[in-house]
Structure 1
Amino acid sequence: MKFIVDQQVEDIEMPENLKLNTFLQEFHSDCPHKECGFGFYGFAFGQSPFPVPQIIQDTLIKNVHKGEYAAVSGIPELRNAISKYNKHYFGIDVIPNRIYVGPGTKELIFNLLEILHGTVILPTPAWLGYLPQIRFLKKNYHMLPTRANKKISPADLRKLALRLQDRQKILILNNPHNPTGLLYDKLELEEIADVCREQNITVISDEIYAQTCYDFSKFVSMGKIYPEGTFVTNGLSKSHAAGGYRLGYVIFPQHAIELKDQFKKILATEYTAVSTPIQHAAVAGFEISSEIDEYFEVTRNIHQIMGEYTYHELSAIEGVKATKPDATFYLLADFNAYSPELQKAKISTSQKLSEALIVHPYHTAIVGGDSLVLERTDFSARIAFVDYNGAAVYKNYLENKPKTSSERTQFVKDNAPKIVLGIKMIEQFFEDLKKNNLHELNAKKSSMITS
């Protein structure tokens, strides 16, 4: 029997990060060189390396026996905890019935795009997960390229919104931002909010990296600036290093009463409810405690140390520009100064640059610009600086906190040698490129990604 796949699914491409993951696994097992044994320098995957806070693990163990279905919108204890969490950390006074729990913010953003009518405005560069969802739902969308500072220009947003005929427009705002690591300040958000009010733009504000801000006092939620028109999404994945728990939440705007029943209907139809034991464990993660506060402080300080080192070392490579992160564990590296040399070496797209960097002897994994909704010929890449043993580094930080600039540099060299060596390999790649001495790409390996 021949099974026929729906054309809508046929039209969806495998996400670039999963393509790359498949390629890396196959390359690691097939590479004939003995030096391949260590694997690769992993700048591609955005996952916090730290252990899940012990208080969450312990609470999960205590609740593993709870096999009953939970309420569609989330157990009351969790919604109450999230309400208090947002008031304490973000200054958002939100009642629990404006909060819905889902299996990760990725799913909740998908659910929001399902129920909200209108054209989607997607600023670029962007997290690689937004565009496939928009396309899958067959939403009308327009890119909003950011300028040199890699942030949304209110003037450009207004100009684009005036061209769109829909009564409602939907802006996806990611703050702090993946892939640049940049943070919007209060004034920047207020200027964007002014345009949104004027042009009837609804905002989906993806704030999953909020707790990773190096200076947490600088974070401001769009839900506080534009409460009447913003859906705020957040969760456990990045702040609590619990991506595998698959738990996120969305805060609905003020007075969005007419949407609640529609949204609940979608959640009940698609996944009934989030795992009950996971929800109980999440309560411990969202409750205010000294243990969680210390965890946030230590992990964001380590992210900052790794980010500073990565930024300075990449920027020291001739021709390379990088965004200086204010949060997250990413930055955007711009290799476009080497465009003539890359073209000469028949590396014509950012995807081919990713392929060239992963093969022997460079062994370096990045996420190229086309995966970040940039032009395929834009030789920019997201660099994730998390390739280290998070549990060991956390412990070492507590035992001997680096204070001076030189101590912070030494901390990276001692605790994250693959970050140090990976940056050296990127430098070596471009040195070889300038000398027209690049090692030949293995056609077989290249085809693994592109097929």
Structure 2
Amino acid sequence: MKFVVDQQVEDIEMPENLKLNTFLQEFHSNCPHPECSFGFYGFAFGQSPFPVPQLIQNTLIKNVEKGAYAPISGIPELRNAISKYNKYYFKMDVAPERIYVGPGTKELIFNLLEILHGTVILPTPAWLGYLPQIRFLKKNYHMLPTRANKKISPSDLRRLALRLQDRQKILILNNPNNPTGLLYDQLELEEIADVCREQNITVISDEIYALTTYDFSKFTSMGKIYPEGTFVTNGLSKSHAAGGYRLGYVIFPQHAADLKTQFKKILATEYTAVSTPIQHAAVAGFEISKEMDEYFVTTRNIHQIMGDYTYHALSAIDGVKATKPDATFYLLADFNAFATDLQKARISTSQKLSESLIVHPYHTAIVGGDSLVLERTDFSARIAYVDYDGASTYKNYLENKPQSNAEKLEFVKMNAPKVVAGIDMIADFFDKLKKDTLSNFDSKKSSMITSS
């Protein structure tokens, strides 16, 4: 029997992160060189390497017997904990009734895009998950390229909004940002919010990396700046290193009672409720405690040490520019200075650059610019600096916290040797690329002299 797939699904491509994962698995199993046995230097996957906090693990164990369906919007204990969590960390006074729990922020953003009418404004470069959702839902959308500083300009946002005819526009704002690691400060958010009020723009503020902000005093939620028009999403996956728990939440704007009714209907239709034991475990993660405070401080300090090293090591490669991360465990590396050399080597797109780096002898995995909603010929890439054993690194940090730059450098070399070696491989790749181009140029020049 032949099954017919709906055309809407046929038109959707596999998400770039899953395509990359498949490619890496095939490369690892097919590579004939003995050096392939170690795998690859993994700059492609954005997953916190640290253990799930013991407090969450213990609470999950205590609640494994809870097999009853939970309320659609989340158990009351969890919504109350999230409310207090937002007041404590983000200075937002949010009633539990404005909070809805879902199976990860990815699903919640999808649900919001389902119920919100209007054209989506997507700043680029962007996390690779937004565009497939927008396309799957057949939403109208427009890209909003960022400036040289890799942040959106309020004036550019206003110009784009004025061109759009929809009564409502939806801006997806990812702060702190994946893939750049950059943070929008309070003044920048206020300027964006002014345009949003003026142009009737609703904001979906994806703040999943909020608690990874290195200097946490600098983080401000868009929900605090523009509470009447912002949906804030956050969850366990990045700050709590619990992506596999699949638990996120959304804070609705003020005065959105009618919309909450529609949203609840969508949640009930699509997945009924989030796993009950996971919700009880999450309560421990969102409750205010000394243990969780110490966990957040330690993990973001380690992320900063790794980020500073990666930024300086990449920037030391002649021709490479990189964003200096304020948060997350990513940065954006710009290899466009090598565009001419890459094209001469028949590497014409960022996807081909990614493929060239993963093969022998480089074994280095990156996420290329085309996956980040950039032009296919933009040789930029997201670099995730988390290819190390998070459990041992966490323990080593607590036993001997590095203070000086020299101590931090030694900490990276001891705990993240694959991060160090992977950046060396990127340097080797571009060094060889330049030498090959120069060698070919000298050969042609010599041939022209001989023939004349």
Name the TM-score, length of structure 2 as normaliser.
0.96
**1:258 CA displacement:** 1.1
Q: Structure 1: 5+ residue runs without aligned partners?
A: 439-451
Q: Does 1:146 align with 2:150?
A: no
Q: Does 1:44 align with 2:34?
A: no
Counterpart Cα distance in 1 of 2:383 and 2:272: 36
Counterpart Cα distance in 2 of 1:154 and 1:203: 14
| SS in structure 2 of the partner of residue 161 of structure 1 | helix
Counterpart Cα distance in 2 of 1:437 and 1:281: 56
The match for 2:422 is: 422
Counterpart Cα distance in 2 of 1:205 and 1:17: 22
Counterpart Cα distance in 1 of 2:326 and 2:15: 27
Contact map agreement 2:306 2:385 (CA 8 A) in 1? yes
Q: Does 1:198 align with 2:234?
A: no
Superposition pairs for residues 218-367 of structure 1, below 5 Å?
218-367=218-367
**Letter of the 1:56 counterpart:** I
**Letter of the 1:360 counterpart:** H
**Letter of the 1:216 counterpart:** F
Counterpart Cα distance in 1 of 2:293 and 2:418: 29
Give CA deviations for 1:213-260 in whole Å, capped at 9, x if unaligned. 000000000000000000000000000000000000000000011101
The match for 2:87 is: 87
Stretch moving more, 329-338 or 29-38: 29-38
Name the TM-score, length of structure 1 as normaliser.
0.97
Counterpart Cα distance in 2 of 1:26 and 1:162: 47
Which is higher, the Rg of structure 1 or of structure 2?
2
| SS in structure 1 of the partner of residue 348 of structure 2 | coil
**Letter of the 1:274 counterpart:** V
**1:91 CA displacement:** 0.5
Contact map agreement 2:344 2:437 (CA 8 A) in 1? no
**1:422 CA displacement:** 0.1
Give CA deviations for 1:387-421 in whole Å, capped at 9, x if unaligned. 00000000000000000011101100010000000
Counterpart Cα distance in 2 of 1:395 and 1:30: 36
Q: Structure 2: 5+ residue runs without aligned partners?
A: 439-452
Q: Kindly, what percent of the aligned residue pairs are identical? A: 87
Superposition pairs for residues 95-106 of structure 1, below 5 Å?
95-106=95-106
Give CA deviations for 1:360-398 in whole Å, capped at 9, x if unaligned. 000000000000000000000000000000000000000
**Letter of the 2:413 counterpart:** K
Counterpart Cα distance in 2 of 1:319 and 1:121: 32
| SS in structure 2 of the partner of residue 436 of structure 1 | helix
**Letter of the 1:158 counterpart:** R
Counterpart Cα distance in 2 of 1:432 and 1:130: 35
The match for 2:398 is: 398
The match for 1:12 is: 12
Instruction: Give me the CA root mean square deviation.
Output: 0.8
**1:437 CA displacement:** 7.5
The match for 1:127 is: 127
The match for 2:175 is: 175
The match for 2:446 is: none
Stretch moving more, 283-292 or 27-36: 27-36
- Equivalent residue pairs, number: 438
| SS in structure 2 of the partner of residue 346 of structure 1 | coil
**1:16 CA displacement:** 1.3
| SS in structure 2 of the partner of residue 180 of structure 1 | coil
The match for 1:446 is: none
Counterpart Cα distance in 2 of 1:226 and 1:20: 37
Contact map agreement 2:341 2:437 (CA 8 A) in 1? no
Counterpart Cα distance in 2 of 1:247 and 1:404: 37
Q: Does 1:2 align with 2:2?
A: yes
The match for 2:441 is: none
**1:30 CA displacement:** 1.1
**Letter of the 1:153 counterpart:** S
**1:436 CA displacement:** 1.5
**Letter of the 1:73 counterpart:** S
**1:435 CA displacement:** 1.3
